[in-house]
Structures are given as structure tokens and as C-alpha cells.
Chains A and B, each alone.
Chain A
Amino acid sequence: MATTDIKLGAPTVIADDVHIHYKTFASGKAAQNSRNLMRRQRGVRIVRAVRGVSFVVREGESIGVIGHNGSGKSTLMRAIAGLQSPAQGTIYASSRPALLGVNAALLGELSGEKNVILGSLALGHSMAEAQETYEEIVDFSGLGEFIDMPMKTYSSGMSARLRFSIAVSRDHRILLVDEALAVGDKDFKAKSEKRIRDLRERAGTVFLVSHSMSSIRDTCNRVLWIDHGELKMDGDPDEVIAAYQAHK
């Protein structure tokens, strides 16, 4: 496997032969992300979403993750964030990675404001810290008066913007962004891409899962191509994207 910039900083994330399986019933919902590779086993299906992925990511890199729907990209991100434990293999990280996904609403019946506070407190910040960053988050999200409404009333773009704003409100050493940029409108997209570049410059590590090749080219300096749960290619963005598009 090819690694581009070896001159970069110390390793921040290491995936060591990671396999992730879902166990689900035939019509279960866990199949959502991985329609490939289902194997029947006494009424229970084992979905092998990620199969033997290894890589080393160093400080200052921002990694684009590409692949077709259901290739295991999001599952891999969830595993890096520690929200899903690998069936085999291990993921190491220098600090706790923060995942920012599109599908996850926080608490739908509560307002955006309360979600901001609770999200911040759950991550271990004090009440004072939570209130301190609150304004900044709301400003960045550009939600205005909608911040007082229950999150279940938000459009998918609005709630993605709010979640993105919560996640980038602090300097995470490792930030995982799952297709969030695809949802915001044009202004927000430009704003969030700038923010990701800022984070990267402050020696953080950013993973960006996206189907938008232009976002990946603009923000990433290395790309992982995940295909059917395996790492198909790892390297320079232009090369990998060209190969990926040729493959399609």
C-alpha cells in the first residue's frame, strides 16, 4: 500500500487489520449500510461490512474516504470513533476521535439549543464551557430563530449544519466528517470547507467521507478508496479519484 507524505507528524490513527461484522436478522435494520456480502447462518445474517482494513494516519493529514454506497465507509468511520467495536483487529488513536454523521439526530423532541448544550455536556465539558461555545455554534450554524424549535422539525440540511457546527466548535485532534458537506447549501459548504482546512492546519487529523469528488479534492491531501469492505487504494487524491472514476 502506498502512503504519500511520510514526512508528516506522528501517527494519530492506526487501523490494524480491522474487520467489522453486523449480526442481524433477515429483515433487520443493521443491513442498511452494507447490502453486500450477506451470509446466512441459522436465520441470522452476518454482514461483513469491513474486511481487513489497515492504515496509518499521521498528524496534519486530511483523509478523504470514497467508495460506492454500502462499501463500508460509514461503518469504518463509526469504528474509528469507537461507536462500533471491530470483530477482529484493532483501531488505535492518539485521542478520542469525534464523529459527525448525517443520519444521527440527537434528541428529536428537544430544541436545537438544548441539543447543543447536551451534546457538549455529554462530551465531558462543564456547563460553563457549554454555554461559552453555545453562541459560537449557533452563529456558525446560521440557524437563527430555528434554534428554539425541536430538532425533529428540522430539515435534513438544517440538522446536518447544526451537528457540523457542534462538532467543529472545539479543536478536535481527530475529526471524522461523514458526508456532512453534501447537505448544506452553497454558503455553508464554503464555510465548512474552510473550517476543515483550519482544523487541519492546527495539526489535527480530519477524515472526510463524501461522494462529492470536488469537496474531497479541495480539502484532502490523501484518499482512501473502500470497495466492498476492503481498502482498494490509498494515496494521492488525484490518482485515487481518477482510478475510482475509471472503475465506475
Chain B
Amino acid sequence: MTDTDLARLARESGLERVGARPPLGEYLSSVWKRRAFIYMMARYRVQASVEENRLGLGWIVLKPILNALIYGLIFGVIMPSDTRPENFIAFLVAGVFVFEYFSKAFGMGSRAIVGDAALVRSLNFPRMLLPVSLITRHVIEMVPMMLVLGIILLIVGEPITWWWLMSIPVLAVMTMFNLGVALVVARLTVHLRDVSQIIPMITRLFFYASGIFYSLEAVIDDPRLLKLAQLNPVHDFISLIRGYMVSGNPINSFMWTVAIVSAVVMLVFGIWFFWKAEERYGHD
């Protein structure tokens, strides 16, 4: 039998090529069909992380609080007080909590495929389920974090207003952005494991560049440089949350523009970029 005979036989018998990547629309609908998997996996993972540690769910909120405490101690003492924004604790805690949401998606997103290699190697399913499920898990974990953030803000004397509810659309847009980021880094790590080594450094760079313990506007004098720093979407997500929840932080439409445009671009690019390599995941 020659090759062409086999190919013809396959065609005549109506066989399809195994492992072929479906068109994008079909692919996304097969992901949507498995939304129960996305949610259940996210829930099981949260449960497992809760069961593993004595403090369980506590760690989800305790970690950013401790982080905020450390940064507060260090930067509150070292930094000249004129660059320190008013109501520093509220400013800092809101910044750290929102940044944590991004850094989790960025860091854990890079492990979304390679970290579950056993699953990817043994079952056939649209691989996009894994990063989407990861982000779903972060959304679930964000609920107690936002409650704790609210409580902390009340304790340090921030007034509770209806504007606090605006944090929901802000976080929804940020979730789109995070998903796009996770999809991109999930694929990059499959090609090049080294990516997961460099991610903590990029995260730190973002941490310092996003104005978490200082106000960009108060520190940067050069207007062009300031504009550039404000183009960082992570900074804008943090500023929007602060704007709605912490007094003395005005919001402008530029923040919303950067947030929405970056989220849409990142998500669309992420989906396309991840789907392109569908046949390659788990092949090493």
C-alpha cells in the first residue's frame, strides 16, 4: 500500500485527521460547552488549597495583608513623607490587593499548561480550559479579598459609599485583561520553560512601576514620562479601584480608556495566540 492509497482510503471511509485544531469559532464553542469543567476545576482547586493549610482560606487574604504590612513598614519609614499619598494605609492596601490579582494571573498563568502536564497528556480536551479555569479560581478567591479590603478601608476611616460598587466593573475588565495575559504566558512557557524563571522579575518591575506604595503623579515630574507610566494598564486598574474606594484619588477618563482598550486587545490576542498552538500542548 502506498501513502496516497491510505490517504484516499481514509477520505473515502470518512475518517478525520486525529488531533487537528478546529477553527477558532468551533474551538471556543467547545470550550463553552465544557464550562462545567471550568467551574468545577476552579472550585476543587480552591477547596484543595483550603484543605492543605491549617489557615485554609485565610491565606488567600492573609498573604496580601502581610505584604501590605511589610511594604507599609519599609516604605512608610524610608520614603520622604511629601511623596507619600494621603491616607497611606488605604492607598497601599488597595494597591497591593489589586496588584496581587494581576500577579497571580501572570505567575500562575505561566504554569497553567506545564503544571498540569499529566492531565494534558492523558485526556483530550480544549487546552484553553486550563487557563480559563485558573482565572475562574482567581475570581472566586477575589470575593473574600474584596470583602477584607472593604473591612480594612472602613477600619482606617474611609467612608463607605455606593461608588464602592464600581469596583465590580473595574475588576470585570481587569479579569479580561488577566485572562489574556494568562493565555499568552501559558503558551510561551510551553515553548520556553525559561519564561517561568523571568516572570517573578517582570512582576517586580510591574510592582515598582505601577505606583503601589507611592503616587506616580507625585513622583514623576517629566509629563511625557508620566504619560508613559500611566499607559501601564496595571497602574490604571489600581488607580480606578482607588478612585472609587479610597478618598482623595480622582479618576479620569484616560484611565478607563487604557483599562478597556488594553483588556480587549489582550483578551483577543491571548485567545488567538493560545489557539494557534493548540496542537502543541503536552507534546514534550
**Residue on B nearest A107 in the bound complex, by CB:** B119
B interface, how many residues as a size bin?
35 or more
Across the interface, B6 reaches (CB within 8 A) one of A12, A54, A100, namely A54
Main secondary structure of the interface of B (DSSP, over half): helix
- Cβ–Cβ < 8 Å partners of B15 in chain A: 11-14, 92-94
- Complex interface: chain B residues within 8 A of A56 (CB): 1, 6, 9
Chain A residues contacting B3 (CB-CB under 8 Å) are: 16-17, 54, 89
The reply to whether A90 and B36 form a contact with Cβ atoms under 8 Å apart is no
Q: How far is the CB of B263 from chain A (nearest CB, A)?
A: 28
Asked whether A83 lies within 8 Å of B124 as measured between CB atoms, the reply is yes
State which residues 14-53 of B face A: CB under 8 Å: 14-19, 30, 33-34, 36-37, 40-41, 44-45, 48, 52
Cβ contact within 8 Å between A54 and B284: no
Cα A185 to Cα B70 in complex, Å, equals: 55
B234 in the interface (beta carbon within 8 A): no
User: A16 to B30, alpha carbons, bound, how many Å?
Assistant: 28
Whether A54 pairs with B44 at a CB distance below 8 angstroms is: no
Is the CB–CB distance between A99 and B122 below 8 Å?
A: yes
Interchain CB contact under 8 A, B48 and A109: yes
Q: Is the CB of A83 within 8 A of B283?
A: yes
B residues less than 8 Å from A121 (CB atoms):
34, 36-37, 40
CB <8 Å contact, A124 and B1: no
Q: Which residue in B7, B30, B52 is a CB contact (below 8 Å) of A124?
A: B30
Is B174 an interface residue when CB atoms closer than 8 A count as contact? Answer: no
Contact (Cβ within 8 A) A94 B13: yes
Residues in A whose Cβ lies below 8 Å from that of B48: 109-110, 150
Asked if A217 lies at the interface with its beta carbon under 8 angstroms from chain B, I say no
CA distance A83 to B279 in the complex (A): 8
Q: Is B129 an interface residue (CB 8 A)?
A: yes
Interface residues on A, range: 35 or more
Residues of chain A contacted by B63 (CB below 8 angstroms): none
Q: Give the complex CA separation of A127 and B38 in angstroms.
A: 12
Q: How far is the CB of A228 from chain B (nearest CB, A)?
A: 21
Which listed residue, A10, A83, A106, A117, touches B19 by the CB 8 Å rule?
A: A83
**Known contacts A99-B122, A123-B125, A124-B30; A82/B19 CB under 8 A:** yes
| Nearest-CB residue, chain A, relative to B119 | A106
Contacts of A56-105 to chain B: CB distance below 8 A = 56, 78-85, 89-94, 96-101, 104-105
**3 A-B pairs with least C-beta separation:** A82-B19, A104-B122, A121-B37
18 pairs across A/B with beta carbons < 8 Å? A11-B9, A54-B1, A56-B9, A82-B18, A83-B282, A84-B283, A85-B19, A91-B17, A93-B16, A94-B16, A96-B124, A104-B119, A104-B121, A105-B118, A118-B44, A122-B129, A124-B34, A150-B48
Where the two chains meet, the residues of B that have a C-beta atom closer than 8 Å to any C-beta of A are 1, 3, 6-7, 9-10, 13-19, 30, 33-34, 36-37, 40-41, 44-45, 48, 52, 116, 118-125, 129, 279-280, 282-284
5 further A-B pairs in the complex, CB-CB below 8 A; given A22-B284, A124-B30, A127-B36:
A83-B121, A92-B17, A94-B13, A107-B119, A114-B44
